[in-house]
Structure 1
Amino acid sequence: MADAFKNLINPALVRACGEHLQRRWRDFDRRGFERLALRGLADLEMKARAMQIADALEATLPEDFDRAAGLIESALAPAATGDSLDFRSTETGLAGWIGWPLGEFLARRGQAEPERGLRALHALTQRFTGEFAIRPYLVNHFDLTLRTLSGWTGDRSAHVRRLVSEGSRPRLPWGLQIKALITDPTPTLPLLRALQDDGSEYVRRSVANHLNDIAKDHPGVVADWLETHLPDATPERRALLKHASRTLVKKGDGRVLAAWGLGAPFRGEATLAITPRRVAVGGAVALQLTLVSTSAKPQLLAIDYVVHHVKANGSTSPKVFKGWQLTLAPRETRALAKTHSLKPITTRVYYPGEHRVDVQANGKVVASASFVLRR
């Protein structure tokens, strides 16, 4: 059985951290640090482990933040040179998952000296990532942090350039939400413009995810972006913008579909069959869609399906799933098939009842059917 993800933060990592810090500062209380960091560690989940180690760092590193940040910087392994990170601490210094508690320390203690804290995060993100640790700086020192990020858009390290986009995402998963940017995303748009044609796919992928975050609250901003930046785009930029459009394409946003040439309504007939008609939780249903074109011209279609999941109170909640993107020839009949799993997952509880499935082509429902879910 695979080792639990939380065990990426483990006693060996704590001891390596203590060893490297003591190498840089002879008087570092390594024994006290390890005692505090390791207490009950095995019983803690991953985030709680990182926070406990950060507590131990706060208790044992110097009170002077500039000195403490300098010790952390001196204990780091050499900076990563490519797009990938090694995620391992070695005899050369600290890197990988120990960066989470190190970043948490810099986030906590650096608010009183934000310029020094941001400089330390510039170093840390080249060994792990500073995307979580930089978010309190955006909350508490918004203008300073944005100016700093703007200066980093031309940094030679792809990891620093990625931090510009990833660290300022309004809704970063696992990260503190930046409510000011959820309300108004325009302050980060110059950063994204500077990075959308970056030479690193690693950076461009982050820009796409940032734009997709914005799409959840301000679809018009992303539609404007596509109308401005999609014409004459390079293949690399088109790939970025396609990934950035994924939420709005699923939602059938008219302007976004039109930007991708998917705005025209489907001309033809569609039928959906679902088998089996009754299925238990943990099973699967087969979706069989037949499209019959009545158009004399080819049709570019983005086809998704919406499952209306039954909730505990008997109402339903729609969830869009990716289907197909295709060109339907004039008068063509096309059969499409997909299996939809009903295995329990951590983010969804299944309840018995009739589940309607709608198929939408270019954002408009063209066929529907249903199945009955039982325990």
Structure 2
Amino acid sequence: MAEPLKNLLDDASIAAMAQHLSRVCHDFDAETFVRVASVDLDALAFKARAMQLADALQASLPTHFERAADALEAALAPADAGDFDEPAASRTGAQGLAGWPVWAMAEHIARHGQQQPERALSALHAMTQRFTAEFAIRPFIVRHPALVYATLQRWTTDRSAHVRRLVSEGSRPRLPWGLQLKALVADPSPTRPLLEALQDDASAYVRRSVANHLNDIAKDHPERIADWLARHLPDASEARRALLRHASRTLVKQGDLAVLHAWGLGQPLQGHARLRIAPASICLGESVELGLTLISTSPEAQTLLVDYAVHHVKANGSTSPKVFKGWKLDLAPNESRAFVRRHALRPISTRTYHPGWHRVVVQVNGVAVAEAGFELG
């Protein structure tokens, strides 16, 4: 069984933080830090542990913000020069702190640096090179937008890929686990020049963040993504095309016609579709087999994107669709082609299944073409 994620912040993390902060700050209260950080640690979830470590920093660091920021920076390990796909469990070692403990350190900066935002942003610039400051920078965007956007624009050319990624990731309107930036949900215009500066970044790590940021915007302003594709997809490099495909994923699943047209997928199926589902009834943990047949009646080849939506039954008896990726294909003139896909209904933490009739609708280029269903007992 995999180790629980929350154990990435454990007693060893607390001990390492106490050691390195004591090394660089003579008036750091290590005893208080360890005591506060360790309270009911086993019972706390992952984010709650990080917030408790931030509480412990507040109780043990100098109250003067600049002195606290100096100590936190001095306790950091040397910066990580390379890209990383996600923060490592810990890069803390003899030279200083890095990895997950820095989450709590950046949180301290976010909580106590609002009156000195320039110094705080400098600290986050250092910390994001050892972990990420994507959560901590968001309160500064809310309270000091002009300063932060100007700073982020400068950082688009920073030598560190981690800093450049922070520009995009930290300003995402709907960052998971992060403070929602309601002003950017309503109007994402302030981040447009940042994303334009980064969409051809040399680092795939940075470009992936840009794609996720654009996908956030797509959830509230699909027309802006269609416009972005119209301006940036023609003559795009393969790296940019990959970024734009990832940025388009939500709208493609939803069958947004403007986005589908941008990718050459806007024409409805010329022909017929049949969907077969077996067995007709299953229990939670079992699978159904989806059998789809597409029959072309066109004298020309068709480029088709096939997805399917499962309408899950909710507790009140209504249904909610979830779209799943199917197939992308070129269907030859008058060709018939069959596809098979097993779809499992296994217990997962992000969805509660309820018994009842689950309708399955196949979409081709965003248009529903066939449906069937199964009973979940």
Structure-1-length-normalised TM-score: 0.98
Q: Distance in 1 between matches of 2:292 and 2:219?
A: 29
Which position in structure 1 is the counterpart of 2:13?
13
Q: Tell me the amino acid that sits aligned with residue 171 of structure 1.
A: R
- Contact in 1 for aligned 2:27/2:62 (Cα 8 Å): no
Q: 1:282 Cα shift?
A: 1.2
Q: Distance in 1 between matches of 2:195 and 2:186?
A: 17
Pairing 1:161–2:164 present: yes
Q: Tell me the amino acid that sits aligned with residue 110 of structure 1.
A: G
Q: How many residues align?
A: 374
Which position in structure 2 is the counterpart of 1:273?
276
SS in 2 for 1:264: coil
Which position in structure 2 is the counterpart of 1:335?
338
Q: 1:309 Cα shift?
A: 1.1
SS in 2 for 1:300: strand
SS in 2 for 1:327: strand
SS in 1 for 2:100: helix
Q: Distance in 2 between matches of 1:168 and 1:156?
A: 19
Q: Distance in 2 between matches of 1:243 and 1:256?
A: 12
SS in 2 for 1:62: coil
Query: Which stretches in structure 1 are left out of the alignment for 5+ residues?
Result: none
Residues 68-94 of structure 1 show CA distances to partners (whole Å, capped at 9, x for unaligned) of 111111110000111025532100100
Q: 1:349 Cα shift?
A: 1.2
SS in 2 for 1:330: coil
SS in 2 for 1:111: coil
User: Which residue of the other structure, out of 58, 82, 95, is the alignment partner of 2:98?
Assistant: 95
SS in 1 for 2:183: helix
Q: Tell me the amino acid that sits aligned with residue 3 of structure 2.
A: D
Q: Distance in 1 between matches of 2:35 and 2:351?
A: 39
User: Which residue of the other structure, out of 267, 277, 282, is the alignment partner of 2:285?
Assistant: 282
Pairing 1:60–2:60 present: yes
Q: Distance in 1 between matches of 2:198 and 2:157?
A: 9
Which position in structure 2 is the counterpart of 1:187?
190
Residues 9-48 of structure 1 show CA distances to partners (whole Å, capped at 9, x for unaligned) of 0011111001101111123211121111112211211111
Which position in structure 2 is the counterpart of 1:313?
316
Which position in structure 1 is the counterpart of 2:261?
258
Q: Distance in 2 between matches of 1:19 and 1:83?
A: 27
Which position in structure 2 is the counterpart of 1:107?
110
Q: 1:233 Cα shift?
A: 0.1
User: Which residue of the other structure, out of 230, 237, 243, is the alignment partner of 2:233?
Assistant: 230
Q: Tell me the amino acid that sits aligned with residue 45 of structure 1.
A: A
Which position in structure 1 is the counterpart of 2:25?
25
User: Which residue of the other structure, out of 172, 177, 193, is the alignment partner of 2:175?
Assistant: 172
Q: How does 1:176-215 map to 2 (within 5 A)?
A: 176-215=179-218
The list of structure 1 runs, each at least 4 consecutive aligned residues, that deviate by more than 4 angstroms after superposition, is none
Q: Distance in 2 between matches of 1:32 and 1:88?
A: 24
Q: Distance in 2 between matches of 1:361 and 1:3?
A: 41
CA RMSD of aligned residues (A): 0.9
Q: Distance in 2 between matches of 1:247 and 1:337?
A: 23
Q: 1:354 Cα shift?
A: 1.0
Pairing 1:4–2:4 present: yes
Q: 1:211 Cα shift?
A: 0.2
Q: Give the fraction of aligned pairs with identical amino acids, expressed as a percent.
A: 63
Q: Distance in 2 between matches of 1:371 and 1:351?
A: 13
Q: Distance in 1 between matches of 2:25 and 2:137?
A: 26
Q: 1:59 Cα shift?
A: 1.1
Q: 1:4 Cα shift?
A: 1.1
Residues 145-203 of structure 1 show CA distances to partners (whole Å, capped at 9, x for unaligned) of 11111110000000000000000000000110000000000110000000000000000
Q: Distance in 1 between matches of 2:37 and 2:342?
A: 47
Q: 1:348 Cα shift?
A: 1.2
User: Which residue of the other structure, out of 148, 151, 169, is the alignment partner of 2:151?
Assistant: 148
Q: Distance in 1 between matches of 2:157 and 2:79?
A: 17
Q: Tell me the amino acid that sits aligned with residue 40 of structure 2.
A: G
Q: 1:236 Cα shift?
A: 0.2
Q: Distance in 2 between matches of 1:314 and 1:4?
A: 34
Q: 1:281 Cα shift?
A: 1.2
Q: Distance in 1 between matches of 2:43 and 2:219?
A: 36
Structure-2-length-normalised TM-score: 0.98
SS in 2 for 1:104: helix
Q: Tell me the amino acid that sits aligned with residue 285 of structure 2.
A: G
Which position in structure 1 is the counterpart of 2:221?
218
Q: Tell me the amino acid that sits aligned with residue 72 of structure 1.
A: L
Q: Distance in 2 between matches of 1:339 and 1:154?
A: 46
